[in-house]
Amino acid sequence: MGVVKDWRDKELSISEVIRKYPHISPFVIIKTDVQRRGVNYTEKALAKVDPDIHQVEYRGMFREKGDATPVSLILRDGTSILTAFSVEEGKREPILVDVIDDRIVLVDQGEILEEVEYWEKPDYYDKFTSSGKPMWQIAAARPQRIDINPNQYCQFWETPGHGCKYCSIAATYNSSKENKPKILNVDDIAETVEEALKEPGRYESIFLTGGSILNGKELLDEEVDLYIEILKRIGKNFGGKRFPSQLIGTAFNEEQLRRIYDTTGLTSYTADIEVLDKDLFEWVCPGKSARIGYDEWKRRLYKAVEIFGVGNVTTGLVVGVEMATPKGFQSEDESLEKCLAEAEELAKHGVSTVGCVWNVAPGSVFFNQMSPSLEYYIRFADGLDQIRRKYNLNVDMDNYRRCGNHPDTDLSRI
């Protein structure tokens, strides 16, 4: 699918959206479009990258200094832009990262949108575990959060047709040339976290997520066991007490949730429902639908609130997939009405809904799709924020400092 040549004629521009929604931070609007469309770097922008200072990824195979690309960006107000996941190539022109007057800036059609900085890497990135693993491979870092992805694979993909259609985790894992293990060594994780915490003032929280593990006496028991083992090891840094932490797991049953809460220091729990419509859930997430189901997923979230408390349970959306063709909603207005009504129903039960910007990822079933307009994303983010305010739900574990991936939670800081 090539560039859709007339997409700008059909959508409001960034500046038009900023003018139309003056109550929404322009930083959030810019961030949303950058995540939706992705970025390209000029040679001048890449020349500003210093792997000794910045978090980087490498475009080639040999990890040469001149081949380094920034992992992500940060705006002047502290808003993070996770560009590493912004891969919608070929549908809309990406936003350009350039250098003008010695400032690193975002540029669209020759217009400077905002100044940005590259994420700085933490101290532990240059260190190794006792087994010889580079610590940056064990735990990633956002500006103020330690990110651990202990399970690099998802077992829903082992049944043909059961993988979530927007997701490319299986294709990414299978195409990797690094021979990555499916599950990280727990000793490596424990050593890396202990080392990371030595950097004063750097971190607000610790985050765990990974692909689903369906095995066990009960469905998901092995996934629960893995997270409990890791959380116990990490918890030793905090004297076995509760510590600022978030787990995004599959929708665990009540007994599994109580076991996690009672035996670890975990603070908050998330189970991503991905799309707020039962029929679309069955289509977009066929494995989750077949093994757990939409109504049961919600029921388990409500049970999680009873265990972790109001304000400590969230569910995440891949905002935009509800409009994928051919089964998605036909209009943005219809989609917003129905999805936000479902989000409000979740809020009534103490569950906060947060949204990620859908990127049409290579390797996913939805690779040839196109995400909705920028205005749609802003209206969706605004709607989620207003629902949380109405029901007095905080999203501390997903705020702009601890997470930075959700435009709607960025609005909670105002």
pLDDT in tens, 111-153: 999 999 999 999 999 999 999 999 999 999 999 999 999 998 9
Tokens representing 373 are: 């307009």
Delimit the CATH 3.20.20.70 region(s) of the chain.
150-183+204-413
Q: 325-350: buried (b, 16+ CB within 10 Å) or exposed (e) per residue?
A: eeebbeebeebbeebbebbbebbebb
**Radius of gyration for the chain, computed over Cα atoms and rounded to the nearest angstrom:** 21
Q: In the predicted model, what is the mean pLDDT of residues 213-233?
A: 98
Superfamily, domain 150-183+204-413: Aldolase class I (3.20.20.70)
Q: In the predicted model, what is the mean pLDDT of residues 209-228?
A: 97
- CB neighbourhood size of 20 (10 A): 13
Look at residue 62 and tell me whether its pLDDT is greater than 50.
no
Do 75 and 27 form a contact (C-beta atoms < 8 A)? Answer: yes
- How high is the pLDDT of residue 233? 98
pLDDT band at 331 (very low <50, low <70, confident <90, very high): very high
Range of lowest pLDDT (48-62, 96-110, 364-378):
48-62
- How high is the pLDDT of residue 361? 80
Q: Which residues contact 83 (CB under 8 A, 6 or more apart)?
A: 34, 35, 38, 39, 70, 71, 72, 73
Q: In the predicted model, what is the mean pLDDT of residues 393-407?
A: 91
Tokens representing 40 are: 């390209």
Closest CA to 79 of 374, 403, 314, 359: 403
Look at residue 87 and tell me whether its pLDDT is greater than 70.
no
